[in-house]
Structure formats: structure tokens, C-alpha cells
Structure 1
Amino acid sequence: MGPRSLQIERDRFVGFAFAAADVLMELDDAGAITFAAGTTQSLLGHGEKALLGLHFAKLVAEADRPMLARVLARLEHEARVGPFHIRLLHGRSPTQLRALRRATVNGGIQLVVSRTPPRAAIASRSHDAASGLLGRDSFTELAERHLDDCREQGGHRELTMIRLRGLDQSGLAPDSQALRDMMASLGGLLRSVSIDGDAAGLLGEGVFGVVNEPRSIERLERQIKDTVAETAPDLEIDLSVRSIAMNENGLMPKEASQALVHVLKSFAGQLQSDKEIGSLGEALEDRFKYTVQRIADFRQIVRNLEFDLVYQPIVDLVDRRPQHYEALSRFRSSESPGDMVGFAEKVGITVDFDLAVVRKVLDYLSTFDPNRARPKVAVNLSTRSIEQDAFLVELKRLLAQSGRLSRNLTFEITESAEIQNLERTAKILADLRAGGNKISLDDFGAGASAFHYIRALKIDQVKVDGDYIKTLLQSERDASIVVAMTNLCRSLKVVTVAEMIETEEQAAAVARIGVDLGQGWLFGRPAPQIPKTTPATLQAAPAPVAA
């Protein structure tokens, strides 16, 4: 093939590459640029001619250079690799890289660099400074997206979990350059085998996660050991690696995404502390399957309405008259309501359940005589529910359908510490208040976030965390905290509720402090019916029994 033919072939390649790329480059075996075309000035900070002779790695963010080296090394065994997310020193646009081995006598590499599609952009993701790996939350979010893609588009992807112990025995100082180099190399390796060059995360001390195409675990173990040995050749490490297929054994129901998130968040902590896990693989796979099944079971319970509601009075601490009742769930299974609802909140599947509770309460209130005052009921809404648009649409439909009856509901917001967007949440709650519903904040504590929330959110009530009430008489510190919270709420004209009151001594103490309302076994245990005729006062209830 003559020079003219070579030029034609290159032009064809350039034209084809630019159909999906912004910059095309060719590198020699040393990594120096021998050819460049495209929008090089905006992406790389140099014109096409000025790039010739420069080493491409020098144009890449330092944290991504170990990963780049690993990716290019793969071309010794593979014809092409990528796309991989990569950060360039110049230019603000997130970019992707594809690399091909040139099938010529002179060898070399062809690189295609393109701006990252918005959905896949990594600019907002949180990365560990030393390793370049994603933080746990960012990795979890990305892994969930890959799981959705796998379900919708097909293909085979794996979630690989890695536990590496022994680095603290390396003799390297925690802030030493040698240890930073080791973590950078390890991060570069894991990113290079991930699905897009960024789907690798540091989930905890010595715990890593990777979303990757199916590959040999033995080879990855060997690569990890070799990477560690480059810095600490005499160090013995305890390494466990296990992959599970994201579409293995039918584990692709709607619940799989929530299960994955839960497993990643909970399992990483267990891997750090639990030295009794004999098989990382079995433990990981069992946890994933168990979580999927538990989610499916919970959804079935909600779908079939296999739960009941009971109502516990909340009384004025001065005259003991019930002001309203809280609707509490009771499941027809051996698991406690707290564990069931707590699991649903952690996994993020409370939407259907919260709506089902609202429907049940409204249906129950409709049985009361419309010519007499109907009781007011507090219904728990998870923060995770109110942050979802579909939930809000259905909730507003239910409230509108019920007319004035819906104003008998107070919405008690649980998991307030999990609020992601405070400004948006404030607007949502203000909208509900404008419709005639009162808003209560559950488990109000002494943390800085609690005071931040009460300042930012327009609410009617706060429920003081029951842990403070239980220790109120024994702990001056807790008593002082309750006093401070009560005074703050009074100044903001926010009603305070003390829960878990079991003795007259506790009731008298919170009343002296100035708490407005009380709830607990002292005033009445949860019951399936609200009295049709409201009692004048509620005296001490029988001693509590196991629920």
C-alpha cells in the first residue's frame, strides 16, 4: 500500500472515529503522541501540531495516570479497551477514552477521546484522594445504575467485592509517599478492570468494590498481590475476592437495585470488622439473595395489606386529654414492626407502604359519625418517600379525594437525618401544611442537624427522641438537653411531644420542663380502635406487656 493509500485509510479512520469522538490521537510504544486531530485545543489545551512529541499521560490528571497505565498495558493482550472515564488536566468537560492497538509494523496505539454523555458524567462523584477510587455513596449510586442498565439492555456484568487486610503491617507510615503510591497503583488497577474506568470504589478500610465484565478472579487476585508487592515485597496480605453476576439465577426483579444498595452499605462495614466470615463469596451472595427476598416479601405484605394499624393516644400533659393518636403498624409475622419498617426505610422501599397506611387511616376515619368531631391521627411518612415525585402525586390525589377528612391527618416525618435536599423538602412540607395538614418531626435530638432542620422547615410539632425521656431522671445532661430543645421550640411556637413515657415520675418531669404533649404506656397502649367518645382524661394504663 503506497503513501496515498495510507493517507486515504487514515482519513477514513479519522472520519469514522469522529462520528463518536472529539479527538483522535496515535501514540508510539513509549506513549508519545505522533498524530492528533480534532478539538484538541479545548480538550487538551494544545493545538494539533503542538501535541506532537508530548507524552499523553502528562495531559491526564495525576490521580488518573495509574489507571491509564493499566488500561494501556491491557493492549498487550487485547485488541481494544474502553470506554473509560478519564480526567484531563485541561478542559472542564468529563471525557471518555477508547484505545486500540495498531496492527502495523511500527506498532503503537490509537486513542479516541470524547466528551462524556451527561448521564454518565463523573464530575460530581466523590473520589478518594489517595486511590482515585469512588467513595462509598458515589460507588453505590453508580453500581445501581449499572444494574439498571444490565436489566434493561442485557449483557453480563459482575459486582466484585474485595477485602484486603495487612496493609497496616507494611511498615509504611500512613502519610508516606510510598503508601500513597501503593494506593494509587491499587486504585489504578481496580479502575482499569472496571466497566467504564470509574466503577470502582473504596467502601471502607481495606474493602473495595468493582463493577466489571466477567473476568478471572484468580488473575485479579494475582494482579492485586503484584501491585502490593511492588511497594512492599515482603508483606503478607490477607486477600479475599468474590464476584456475583448482576443477572445471576434470576436475581433481576424490580427489587434488585434496592438490595444492591443495602448490601453495599451494610456489607462493607461487616467486612471491616467480621473476622469470622469463612467465605467472602458465600457471605456476599447470601446477603444479596436474602435482601432481594426480604424486599419481595415486604412488597407482597404491602400489596396484600397483610398488616394492621393500632392507635396510641398523645395527650395534653396538663389535663391528660387526648389531642390526637398515632397510627402504628402491626405485621402478621414474627418480625417486630420496628425491624420491618426500619429495614424498609434503609432499603428505600417505603413509598407503597406509606401510601397504604394513609389509605387505611382515611378509610378508618370515614367510619366515624360525620356530624361529630372525628379524631386526629398522626401518620408516619419516611423522608425517602416524600423525596419521590410519584409518591407526592399519589399522596395529593388521596388527600384531594378525601376532602376535609384529610385535614385530620398530621404527617410525622421520620428519618429526618436522611434529608438530601433541605430546600426541596421545605417546599413539600409547606405545600402539605397549606392543604390543612400539620407536620411533625420525629425523633428530634441534640445533633446540629436537628436544630438546622427546625430552623429551615416550617413545622407544627417535634417529637423529642425517646432515648432522652428514658434517661431523663438519671441524667442531668439529658435533662438539660430536653430543656434546651423545649425552650427552642416554645420560642418558635412549635409544639413538643415526649414519647416513651412509662411512669408518673417521667410525666411530671417533662411537664415541669414545659413539654406540651406526652405519649407512652402510662397514657395508653396502642389499640385497634379509637374510642368513639373521647374520654375526659387518661389515667395510668396497665403495666406494659411484650408487643
Structure 2
Amino acid sequence: MLEISEDLLGLLAAMPGGGLLLDTDGVIRFSTSDAAARLGHRPADLEGRALSAIAQDCSPGLAEAMTAALRSSGEARLRLLPRMDGAGGELLALRLRAVRRGPAGRAIALLVVVQTQAEAMRRFLELNERLVSVEREAARRLRAEARLAEQLAWTRVVLNSIGDAVLTTDRLGQVTWMNPVAEQLTGWTREMASGLPLARVFHILNEATRQPVADPVQCCLAQGRIVGLANHTVLISRDGREYGIEDSAAPIRDDQGELHGVVLVFHDVTEQRRLAGELNYRASHDGLTGAVNRVEFEQRLTQRLAEHRLTGGNDALLFIDLDQFKLVNDSAGHAVGDRLLRQLAQLIDDCLPREAPALLARIGGDEFAVLIENDNPALDLARRTAARICDEVGGYRLVHAGRRFKVGASIGLVPLDRRWPNEAALMHAADSACYAAKQDGGNRVRPWCDEDASLQLLRSAAKWVHRIEEAIESGRFVLFAQRIQPAQGHDAGLHAEVLLRMLDTDGSLILPGAFLPAAERFHLAPLIDRWVLPAVLTWLGLQSERLNAITLLSMNVSGQSLGDRIFRGFALDLLEAASPLLRSRLCLEITETAAVSQPIEAARFIDDVRRLGVRVALDDFGAGASAFAYLKRLRVDYLKIDGQYVRGLLSDPLDEATVRCFIDVARAIGARAIAEFVEDERTSQRLTEFGIDFLQGYLFARPVPLADLESLLEEAARSREQQRDVSGPA
């Protein structure tokens, strides 16, 4: 007997269209009202009857369907079954399924669902529509997944191809993925790093302090925003190599804004930092010696002065000028001079104290400076350091081509304290003290003292610096000229020397003896010459027809300008731009001292300007040399005999012999001789007897403004007439 549970009965009652429950023999044991009605009976009429007996006239395939349902785990269908009441021809559909005991147990009953054909069709259509919908959704999902897979593959290709390193973490800061560049920089493969804390894979330090740097991923997770890496960060790879890096960490969020992890992007800037460091080093250091340069040193002085105004202190400044260096440079060449500067810079650096901060700088040329910090009030450390530098530099010998060169170090020592308004005043004081040490004989230390008379004199000379610069800027230099008298009466036209005057603020004239020494001391002479040369050329260019009446107009070029490569280039460019006629009227006077001390530069410059048609005079001849061998290398047009010999000509036999000798030397080298400081007739007559070519002095003319050309020409004409009257007809 089939036992029917309450659950099974409830399931039958809930079926759309109703259902029957048959035993394995095909006898109906239960029927719902709907199922019985569709079969044309009441439920009580069906129970106990065989289903085949009810449907025997129209459904011969029922037995086979029941057998199939009982034997399989699937469903058997019988689609065309007429209603049993004969009231119409509406078709029925039976669906048969076995009821089994357990998942793989034997069949204990048959469940039959009774539906009209329309209901079955409707259900079929519903199921079909659901199937189509499912298929469409599956196809959509497949396409989306394909697109996502394609995008993911493309993203991976891009991330694997870019030059930046990319690394991702989860919300716990553990590595989830990294591209090949990240693998290369960290030294970890993706498989090795996956799941590890970032700090273990991404080991970063501060480049200068070597202290750990804050983890950018943890900062990003904590703040929920993009976070950049601290400056000067280095990445230590797994194999110990270091890379300078820059990076940023950005949060990974979904569409709802939930944080899922962090993407870290970083790149190698090791080479950029190296180049930037090299550029910074070059900008702040001297390329020849490796010491800091003047700009960097002055910035450090300014910083220390500011600190002293707030807190006080006892720093010291040493200003060092090498003695006799120019002799080495001129005698052995610039390459040897550069080698000497490098060696002396190292020597000075070795003398610096180790117990206190000290900074060496090359100020320019053969000048150095040292800043010693945290000394005692008496500056004992600075004094000992300066004395040691003098001893070491003074004892050094440079050997080149069989010659031994000796140099020294003149040092000015100045306390760095609140008295100095700025670094310029401090440097000027140190320079003045250094100059005083050089004037005392060199290779010694001269401390600064406010009451020192010689230093006060230097400070007074330094005041001219501002006045000279202001005169150049405001056009307060004035050109004068002193006529030069031909001695033998055969030189027509005006011969004159250009002289410089400064116009003071009150309108008075300042003679060059007041400001030129200061200009030479503070290296302003080239600036003055850069003003004078264009002014003279401009004046000559404005003379037009009167230019034929001018035979010679000479101007002085300082020794500093001669040694200044920039000035020499400036002068040559200016002269090349002038006309040949104008250049033929110009003569440049170079002192003998400058020519002897700078033989290479002097010879090259003289040859260059004479090639352009400009004449050259050797000024103050006899004042700077004891031998004339250097004249073999210098092709000059005039020798101007130094005035000390001319003044003593009548009273000192040695001066007379010297002047005769100089005139003979001029003739021997094909030059013409000019005597300066001729102030009386007897001296003029004696010089003329010696065969002098030109005479210059107050006896013939006093300096007048160059603009007053008419008076100069008239004066030259009167002088020639007087000379003809004295000498008589030819």
C-alpha cells in the first residue's frame, strides 16, 4: 500500500493544472480536483482505478510512457490525450515522472501532471522565453567578459611596456601585482613579492640621512588620497643596489567608492639626480681647483653674518693672494700655472683645521678665501691656520723644465662679526688687509685693525671704487690731450697724447693721479680703458676733413687690460670695425713694466694691433727692466723714455748716458724715441743734440680738452714756425 505524506499532497495541490499520484502498477492513489475535472471525473471516482483504464481508448502509448518514466530519472510526456467526458475535443498533455526513495533509490510512485495543450504550450513558450533570455544574458556576459579580458590583457601589455614601475597592493598593504620595471628596480619577481608587505619589497631611505622614509602606500591608505614620495628618496633593491626614485601612490576604488588597495607608480631618476648634482656642483665650485667659487662663498658669508646678528659668534675670514704666481704663469705657461693652482689649493685645504668647520673658496685668479667658523674671541685657530698656510705655501717649490719656482701667500685676517653691514664690506676689509700684507713683503699674515693707519689708507682708496664706477656710468670722464713736439722739424701734423680727467660732482677736474692707483688696486683699469678706447675712436671718426691734420693720437692701455683676454678681444673687435685711415692715426701706449711682466700677451696683442695699422709705443721705457732682450720679441713703433732720466739729464752723468743709450736702442730696433717731462729749453736742446725724435712736456704744451681741436692744431702750427725760425732756411 502506497503511503502518501502530507508534503507530497501539498506539492500535488500546488501544481498548476493539478496532478495524479500513481503506484508503480499505474493505479491512481490520489487526484487533485483540477486533474480529475480535466479527466472528466471526480477525485473519488478516480482513486483505485488504473489510469490506463480511463485513457485506454485514446492513448495506447500510456503504458510505454509509464514504463519509461519508472525506468529513468527524467520525465516522460504524453501530449495528446482527449478529455474523458466526451464534452469536447480539447487536448490534454500528461507529464509523468517517477517518485524515488533517496537520490538513487527505487521508484515507489508515478507523479502525473495534467495540463491542457494550451497550458502546456503557454508553459513551453514561457520556458522558451526564459531560455532565450538566459542565452542572451549569457551571451552578453560572455561579450562583457571578453571585452574585460581584452582590456585587462591590453592594460597588462601597456603596464608591462611603460618605462615607469607599477606596483599594486591590497587594502592591507600587501603586494598583489607588479610590472617588469618594478621587478627590475626592486629585485623581486611578481611571484616572489605577491602577498608580502610592501615595506619588505619596497625598501626606501633618505639619500642624505640614510633614515627610513614614510611608506607611501600606508600614507595613501590612511589618508585615502594620492600621496607623493619625499624628496631625495633612494630605493634599496633586493641585491643591494640603490636607485634614486620619485613616485606617487593613488587609492584604488570601485564604482561605489570603496577602497580596495593602492597603485604605486615610481621611476628611476638616478641619472637625472647625478646630472643635477653635477650641475649644482659646477655652479657652486671652481672647475680648476674644486674649491667653492666666489658666488657660493659670498652666499655663505651672507648667511653667517645674518646668524651673527642674531646669536653672535667668532668666525674668521682669511683672504689669500698668492705671491709671484704671475711670474710662474707668464714664464712657464698657463698649463703649468693651472697645475700650480690645483696643487696649492690642495695644500691650503690640507692646512685647514679639522676641529672646526672651515670652507675654502677660489675667489678668482690667484686669490683664495677661507671661512673658519666657531673660533674663540682671539681668533687663535684662524691665526694658527693662516700661519700654517704661509709656511706650507712659502716652502713649496714647483719644478718645471729644470727651473724651480717659489711662491708665497699674503693673507688678510678679518673677524666676522656684527660690525660688517654686508659681505661686500667684509670681503673688502679682508682684501685690504691682504694687500697690506703683500705691501709688507708678502708671505705673511696681516690681521685687520680699525686703527691701522695703512689699512685706513686702503679704505680711503677703496672709496674711489664707487666714484670710478659712477663716473663711467654717468659719463663724468673727460678726455684731454697734450701735444707732442717733433724735435727734428720734419714731422708735419698734430702729435698728441690723450689724457684722462674725472669731472667731480662740483664741476672740478680730478687728475688721474688721484683715482688711477685705486683703479689699478681694485682691478677697475680695464673698465676705464673700455670707456676711453671707444671715446677716442669716436672722436677721431667725427673729425672728417680735419683728420688729415692729425698725424698721431696716442692713448694709454693699462697692464691689467693687457692681461685681460676679454678686453683684448673687445679692443680688436673695435679696431677692426674702424676705417684704415682712422686706425693709422691711433697709437696705443703700453708700459714697459706691463710688457715685461706679460711678455706673451703683450707680444700677441702688439702684433695684432700693428697688423691693423695701429702704432704702438712702449711707455715709461727704462723704468721696469734691467736688460733689453725682451725687445727682440716686441715690435713697437716708439720708445717713450721714462721721465726720471729726463729730469736728471743735465745734472746726472748717469742719466745722460742712459738717455743716449735709450735713443740708440730705439734706432737699433727701428723705433722712434720720445722724451717725456721736458720742462726747460736746455733739456730740450740737449735732447735734440742727442738725436731725440719727439719731445713732450710743459715746455711745449699743457693738457687741454680734446674737444678743443682748433687750439691744438694752431699750437702745433706755431711750434713748427718757431722751430723753422730757430733752425733757419733749409
Q: TM-score, normalised by structure 1?
A: 0.55
Name the CA distance, whole Å, in 1 between partners of 2:595 and 2:416: 29
Is 1:477 the counterpart of 2:654? The answer is yes
Is 1:494 the counterpart of 2:671? The answer is yes
- Counterpart among 255, 268, 288 of residue 119 in structure 1: 288
- What SS is found at the alignment partner of 2:717? coil
Name the CA distance, whole Å, in 1 between partners of 2:560 and 2:527: 11
Q: Equivalent residues in 2 for 1:424-435 (5 A)?
A: 424-435=601-612
Name the CA distance, whole Å, in 2 between partners of 1:223 and 1:398: 48
- What SS is found at the alignment partner of 1:537? helix
Is 1:357 the counterpart of 2:532? The answer is yes
Name the CA distance, whole Å, in 1 between partners of 2:385 and 2:542: 71
Structure showing greater relative contact order (alpha-carbon pairs closer than 8 Å, 6 or more residues apart): 1
Partner letter of residue 280 of structure 1?
C
Residues 252 and 225 from structure 1, CA distance in 2 versus in 1: closer, same or farther, beyond 3 angstroms?
closer
Give how far 1:294 is off: 2.2
Q: Equivalent residues in 2 for 1:453-532 (5 A)?
A: 453-528=630-705, 529-530=708-709, 531-532=712-713
Residues 320 and 249 from structure 1, CA distance in 2 versus in 1: closer, same or farther, beyond 3 angstroms?
farther
Structure 2 residues without counterparts, runs of 5 or longer: 1-206, 209-284, 305-314, 321-348, 363-367, 388-411, 724-730
Instruction: Point out the structure with max Rg over C-alpha.
Output: 2
Name the CA distance, whole Å, in 1 between partners of 2:382 and 2:592: 42
Give how far 1:161 is off: 7.8
Give how far 1:195 is off: 3.8
Give how far 1:296 is off: 2.0
Is 1:269 the counterpart of 2:439? The answer is yes
Is 1:438 the counterpart of 2:438? The answer is no
Aligned to 2:485: 315
Counterpart contact for 1:312–1:525, Cα < 8 Å: yes
Name the CA distance, whole Å, in 2 between partners of 1:335 and 1:453: 36
Q: Equivalent residues in 2 for 1:295-306 (5 A)?
A: 295-306=465-476
Aligned to 1:280: 449
1:486-528 CA deviation, whole Å, 9 max, x = no partner?
Answer: 2112111111110000011111122222221110011111112
- What SS is found at the alignment partner of 1:280? coil
Partner letter of residue 500 of structure 2?
S
Aligned to 2:298: 151
Name the CA distance, whole Å, in 1 between partners of 2:441 and 2:665: 42
Is 1:328 the counterpart of 2:499? The answer is yes
- Counterpart among 219, 237, 243 of residue 415 in structure 2: 243
1:29-84 CA deviation, whole Å, 9 max, x = no partner?
Answer: xxxxxxxxxxxxxxxxxxxxxxxxxxxxxxxxxxxxxxxxxxxxxxxxxxxxxxxx
Aligned to 1:382: 558
Partner letter of residue 403 of structure 1?
S
Partner letter of residue 372 of structure 2?
E
Give how far 1:485 is off: 1.7
Partner letter of residue 249 of structure 1?
P
- What SS is found at the alignment partner of 2:499? strand
Name the CA distance, whole Å, in 1 between partners of 2:386 and 2:639: 53
1:185-207 CA deviation, whole Å, 9 max, x = no partner?
Answer: xx9977667945799xxxxxxxx
1:290-335 CA deviation, whole Å, 9 max, x = no partner?
Answer: 5554212211112222121111111211228565100011222364
Give how far 1:348 is off: 1.7
Partner letter of residue 215 of structure 1?
N
Q: How many pairs are equivalent?
A: 361
Is 1:451 the counterpart of 2:623? The answer is no
Give how far 1:368 is off: 2.2
1:132-167 CA deviation, whole Å, 9 max, x = no partner?
Answer: xxxxxxxxxx9xx864442367654842489xxxxx
Counterpart contact for 1:413–1:442, Cα < 8 Å: yes
Structure 1 residues without counterparts, runs of 5 or longer: 1-14, 17-115, 122-141, 163-186, 200-208, 229-239, 541-547
- What SS is found at the alignment partner of 2:579? helix
- What SS is found at the alignment partner of 2:590? strand
Is 1:535 the counterpart of 2:707? The answer is no
Give how far 1:288 is off: 6.9
- What SS is found at the alignment partner of 2:695? strand
Aligned to 2:70: none
Aligned to 1:127: none
Counterpart contact for 2:482–2:499, Cα < 8 Å: yes
Counterpart contact for 1:259–1:295, Cα < 8 Å: no
Counterpart contact for 2:678–2:697, Cα < 8 Å: yes
Give how far 1:289 is off: 5.7
Name the CA distance, whole Å, in 2 between partners of 1:195 and 1:308: 47
Give how far 1:260 is off: 5.8
Aligned to 2:115: none
Residues 371 and 327 from structure 1, CA distance in 2 versus in 1: closer, same or farther, beyond 3 angstroms?
closer
- What SS is found at the alignment partner of 1:454? helix
Give how far 1:454 is off: 2.1
> CA RMSD of the aligned region, Å?
4.5
- What SS is found at the alignment partner of 2:719? coil
Aligned to 2:211: none
Counterpart contact for 2:484–2:497, Cα < 8 Å: yes
- What SS is found at the alignment partner of 1:243? strand
Residues 372 and 426 from structure 1, CA distance in 2 versus in 1: closer, same or farther, beyond 3 angstroms?
closer
1:438-485 CA deviation, whole Å, 9 max, x = no partner?
Answer: 001110116536624322211111110001100111111111111222
Name the CA distance, whole Å, in 1 between partners of 2:469 and 2:585: 27
Q: TM-score, normalised by structure 2?
A: 0.43
